Amino acid sequence: MSGAAALAGAVTGIQVGAAMVATRFVLDQTGPASLALLRYAIGALVLLPVLLATARVRIAGRDLLPIALLGVGQFGVLIALLNLGLQTVPAGRAALLFSTMPLLTLVLAVAAGRESPSVPKVTGVLLTLLGVALALGEGAFTGGPGWAGEAAILASASCGAACTILYRPYLGRYPALPVGVLAMLASIAFLAMPAAAEGFFAAVPGFTAAGWLAVAFIGISSGACFWLWLWALGRATPTRVAVFLTLSPVAASVLGGALLGEAVSPALAAGVACVALGIWFAHRPLPEGRPVRG
């Protein structure tokens, strides 16, 4: 994995955590589907001018629907399942459950023949999970029973893992930008339905000035970082990109403590070090003679 692809993955992982903090800040001012619609509508508006200013790429008709469905899965189904789980599962436990996405990505990629398992890769993924658990502290394990919510969050992580793998063939045929714009536009069409049920189109959203700034940050950063995410996926195996998502709960913990006054685990530094060590392990090269797929 090149240094540029690793940097793109790391920036995206941190952005996901920062967007979680901004979402928590503004979610009491609107519904979850309405916020998701605004997020990806702004993201698409950020990417469209860049796409129009660059060389035109025609996506084959047979690929339009699969890419659109991937967008619906990643931005619609994933978010719906995650929000459903967050209704009953404490935020710390939810973050830990969702951070299993790199491990799920590795399992699915191996099952699909897209990657070969290796000791460094498996060790790295497990170390990042341990690091997230340490960073979140005991809050990741406390709370009442909520198996249905936990199942929804794991299903959300599984959806993200599957999309991460399934994007790869299309990123081998087309640049990341047109793929990202098409996927995001499809998700907007999907999210318009639940947003309408929340009354999004009945009146102008009543955000405060700070709320609009948070929405703008969420949308602009999501558009830019989704482009970076796809760009990295086109240049590295799915697991090696997905492992950077373990930075998101760590970033959310740090920013939530600094900006929202949320409790920060005393073991945060140890968790960050463990996540960094896991990412390093996951990106160690295989011994000579071992094949690499994807």
pLDDT in tens, the chain (294 residues): 678 888 998 999 888 888 878 887 888 898 888 988 999 999 999 999 999 888 678 899 999 999 999 999 988 888 778 777 766 766 666 677 777 888 888 888 888 888 777 887 788 888 887 877 776 666 555 555 557 877 888 898 899 999 989 998 999 999 999 999 999 999 999 999 999 999 999 988 889 999 999 999 999 999 999 999 999 988 888 888 888 888 877 787 778 777 777 666 677 677 778 888 888 888 776 554 444 444
Query: What are the φ and ψ backbone dihedral angles of 180, each rounded to 5 degrees?
Result: -65, -40
pTM more than 0.85: no
In angstroms, the CA 105 to CA 99 distance is 11
Structural domain contains residue 249: yes
Structural domain contains residue 287: no
Q: Rounded to 5 degrees, what angle do the CA atoms 44, 48, 51 make?
A: 135
> DSSP character for 260?
S
Structural domain contains residue 291: no
* Stretch (H or E) spanning 141: none
Structural domain contains residue 290: no
Structural domain contains residue 113: yes
Q: For residue 48, what pLDDT is reported?
A: 92
Tracing tokens 């509508």 back to the chain, one arrives at 41
Task: Tell how far CA 55 is from the center of its chain.
Answer: 28
Q: Residue 235 belongs to what domain range? A: 3-282
Structural domain contains residue 167: yes
Structural domain contains residue 288: no
Q: For residue 288, what pLDDT is reported?
A: 46
Count the domains in the chain.
Answer: 1
Tokens, residue 124: 């790295």
Structural domain contains residue 240: yes
CB atoms within 10 A of CB 290: 9
> DSSP character for 287?
P
Asked if residue 178 lies in contact with residue 52, where contact means CB atoms within 8 angstroms, the answer is no
* Stretch (H or E) spanning 285: none
